Structure 1
């Protein structure tokens, strides 16, 4: 029996297919667009390869695309029909079970199975990568950190995949609040592989969370050739660049990035890219910056997708687009569709709880914001604000919702609440022009012009630093 380069036996996978598998795994870890073709090459060389099918199945769910998952689910089911699992290794059986569980909608069950896999086989990079992405999609910061951290001791630092594992670990550290350590680990990953775009992304997050947006811009500018084109993470890293520019007040640069990278005529209407576009425009919307034409094009793109209740985090960003475009009825139609889905009998998929507990309250709050019913926005978001992570995304992504609550509190005249929210934000991120400009507006409402002027001056100083 053949084996991968870490000594894991691979059933029904000849030497050529193993080489193709290693190439596909490399493409996956470095977010190269050719990973789909590479994964298909494994199955061309070895149509009955269990690990080839597991890899293809994971690719069907990692993009949170309902149609991709449906195709992958049917393909994996066909492969498993009549399969003599007794011929497989325990690792292969665990992978197929984890992939099938995820494709059936149980992201949390899949995460547990992948965790067991990584304990038994800590040098299985596919299990670590799939588990890491599952942890991100469910907002599970501790597992995002510890899944990889718990395996790193088994890896030799000279292994070519040790670098991307460090990049993954850096992101888990950042989401868990270990910002300085995350930066150090992320930079160590990039010292090994400068084009590790997930490692770049991890370092970028550390700057975002500490208000080091000027450092973030310099960091990305210095590495432009490594991340700005030709990767599966290109759009997302441009989104981070735009967030930094937004903090400096450079709206022209923000829109330039939006039009050239985030959403344009050549954009693919895929969820991971459309949600970045919606999240950026929503921040401008909160600042009362009218982008009606861009909203209309983005709302059209979301509508063209015609997807069902698959991932609540995507639904919230579709609603942002509809509300931003003034299409309240479309946003309400999406909410009604999800309500009907929840009311019907159905399997206990992870997205049911994600939708019921977080997705629908957030969507209703976004609609209320579009209707300028700011009191309702606060009533809807306050009970879920400390649980937003359970429907996925990163701290940086979910901050669009947190800012919506701040803006609603200010506009509803809920001064005590606004004071509390802004105090929380400022203690965590004292370097953040948005926080101080919002604080200035609060002090204006409270009739404290001197404090308002001081906060406004601080915002301006931070934006220009």
Structure 2
């Protein structure tokens, strides 16, 4: 469903548009090339210009967004908007609002497009990513659910829509249905890497990490390289290996797929690297122990974040940059980033969603991470405890935000907040009773309370739960470099 207007380009432009939409859905690296070709063939087509603006925003990189905004502004100033259809004008308005900083309003505008045009795949796909960036679980689910009955189930893009719907179901807590829907999406399109990602999330949230390892191994040729989700799905594989207690495999995966030396250097990949290494940092008894295990990886990652110098654009990225600086022992850079964002947040920025994200969630989380690194655990608790129920408002998934939740658990343990630690661990154990991490936390708490029998039982339970994951990893192949993902 292209509907290209602007009076030029014709069938060739429509073909490039469909190719670009297909690449967007399947996270192929040639999406930008297809959009560029469409714009060369039909420079006056508004959907081509809106698509280019969306691509400039989807990477959550300020430099890309600024460049896209400048090109988009030139087009809008020169174009005859009376020649465009209402749908085209709606896309131009949504792109303009997002470029202006109001990502939530842009998401709502895209949803309105899908009320009138439920088979507008571009609006569905971009809106779904906006829901992810803003942590809006209900909309992740309902945006796609509201369009599905308008689609022919034989349409080749119906499968990717099911993959999106599956992810929305998972983030909304319906794990069994999410798994079912996402698996059906992948059965339709084996290289639907977002659908695979939805299945992986469903396993993660159910603590079924051995099943996740086997699932990813069975489909590794479909997801493991040559797509823009490869790094993130390898990150999920590493989380499974971490639950199984195989730190050597985790670091092997990191070196082959997440290390910034072999990545694009974009924030979406660097934050996965930081979130993985931060788990080592939090789990280790001392910063020195974490450094000994991770080695020089923190320094290279911190260098990659510093090289971006991207300014205030997306608070979720900022927290992961702070993790990298702290892991590398570069406290000054972490504090400088927080000082810069504090100064920025103190000024009014009407209509800029990231202002609220930064002021209300991003900065308190960053300060809590710094307090944790300084050993000020009561301060970490006081900063994170009021936020734990609304961390989703600065974006990411449950699995990604768990790095912050684990920081709170560890701060409660180290700060001797025993009742709070008991409560947090009880929640985790009852929500994911198959997680070795949760049982090991319970064992540590029991140690501190002098409950030796309970501690021993919890450790035995953790070891028994880790065993299937270790067995699954024993039959897995070696992680390979992720391969090129961008044209």
Do the structures match in fold with TM over 0.5? yes
Asked if residue 178 in structure 1 is aligned to residue 170 in structure 2, the reply is: no
What's 2:18 paired with?
A: 22
**In structure 2, distance between residues paired with 1:66 and 1:179:** 34
Asked if residue 10 in structure 1 is aligned to residue 13 in structure 2, the reply is: no
Matches within 5 A, 1:449-460: 449-460=452-463
The structure, 1 or 2, with the larger RCO (C-alpha pairs under 8 Å, 6+ apart) is: 2
**In structure 2, distance between residues paired with 1:185 and 1:89:** 35
Asked if residue 319 in structure 1 is aligned to residue 322 in structure 2, the reply is: yes
**In structure 2, distance between residues paired with 1:404 and 1:266:** 28
CA contact (8 A) 1:9 1:89 kept: no
Match of 1:335 among 332, 338, 353: 338
Deviations 1:183-226 (CA, angstroms, capped at 9, x unpaired): 11111111111000000000000000000000000000000100
Answer with 76-85 or 327-336: which moved more.
76-85
Asked if residue 435 in structure 1 is aligned to residue 430 in structure 2, the reply is: no
Match of 1:101 among 86, 97, 120: 97
Match of 2:228 among 229, 232, 249: 232
CA contact (8 A) 1:11 1:89 kept: no
Deviations 1:312-361 (CA, angstroms, capped at 9, x unpaired): 00000000000101111110000000011012243330000000010000
Asked if residue 379 in structure 1 is aligned to residue 382 in structure 2, the reply is: yes
Match of 1:394 among 394, 397, 410: 397
Aligned-pair CA distance for 1:266: 2.6
Asked if residue 301 in structure 1 is aligned to residue 296 in structure 2, the reply is: no
**In structure 1, distance between residues paired with 2:247 and 2:45:** 51
Aligned-pair CA distance for 1:292: 4.1
CA contact (8 A) 2:4 2:46 kept: no
**In structure 1, distance between residues paired with 2:187 and 2:440:** 38
Gaps of 5+ in 2: 285-289, 469-487
CA contact (8 A) 1:228 1:238 kept: yes
TM-score by length of 1: 0.98
Gaps of 5+ in 1: none
1:10 match: secondary structure: coil
CA contact (8 A) 1:292 1:325 kept: no
What's 2:447 paired with?
A: 444
Aligned-pair CA distance for 1:172: 0.3
**In structure 2, distance between residues paired with 1:265 and 1:9:** 40
Match of 1:218 among 207, 214, 219: 214
**In structure 1, distance between residues paired with 2:354 and 2:298:** 27
**In structure 2, distance between residues paired with 1:423 and 1:210:** 16
Answer with 81-90 or 228-237: which moved more.
81-90
Deviations 1:82-132 (CA, angstroms, capped at 9, x unpaired): 322221111001000001100111001101101110111000000000100
Matches within 5 A, 1:53-64: 53-64=49-60
**In structure 2, distance between residues paired with 1:38 and 1:82:** 23
Matches within 5 A, 1:3-402: 4=1, 8=3, 10-12=5-7, 13-288=9-284, 289-290=290-291, 291-402=294-405
What's 1:463 paired with?
A: 466
Match of 2:411 among 395, 403, 408: 408
CA contact (8 A) 1:243 1:280 kept: yes
Aligned-pair CA distance for 1:264: 4.4
Deviations 1:398-442 (CA, angstroms, capped at 9, x unpaired): 000000000000000000000000111111111100000000000
**In structure 2, distance between residues paired with 1:410 and 1:292:** 25
